[in-house]
Amino acid sequence: MSERTAFITGGTSGIGRACAESFIQQGISVFVMSRRQEAVDDTVTALNAASTSGAKAAGAVGDVTVVSDIDDAVAACVDTFGGIDILVNNAGRGGGGPITAISDELWDNIIETNLNSVFRVTRSVLKSGKMVDDGWGRIINIASTGGKQGVALATPYSASKNGVIGMTKALGLELATTGVTVNAVCPGFVETPMAEQVRLGHAQHFGRPEAEIKKEFESRIPIGRYTTTAEAAAMVTYLASDGAGAVTCQAMNVCGGLGRY
Q: Point out the residues that are catalytic.
A: 157
One-letter identity of residue 36: R
Cβ-based neighbour number of residue 218 at 10 Å: 14
* φ, ψ at 85 (rounded to 5°): -100, -30
SS3 70: helix
- Which stretches of the chain are assigned E, i.e. beta strand? 5-9, 29-34, 57-61, 86-89, 137-142, 180-187, 251-254
Per DSSP, the chain holds a count of helices (H) and strands (E) of 11, 7
Dihedral of CA 66/67/73/74: which sign?
positive
CB atoms within 10 A of CB 161: 29
Is residue 201 within 8 Å of 96, Cβ to Cβ? yes
Q: Quote the CA–CA distance of 211 and 199 in Å, as a whole number.
A: 8
Q: Are 151 and 157 in contact (CB under 8 A)?
A: yes
DSSP lists the bridge partners of residue 88 as 8, 140
End-to-end CA distance of the chain: 31
Count the Cβ atoms, other than its own, within 10 Å of residue 38: 10
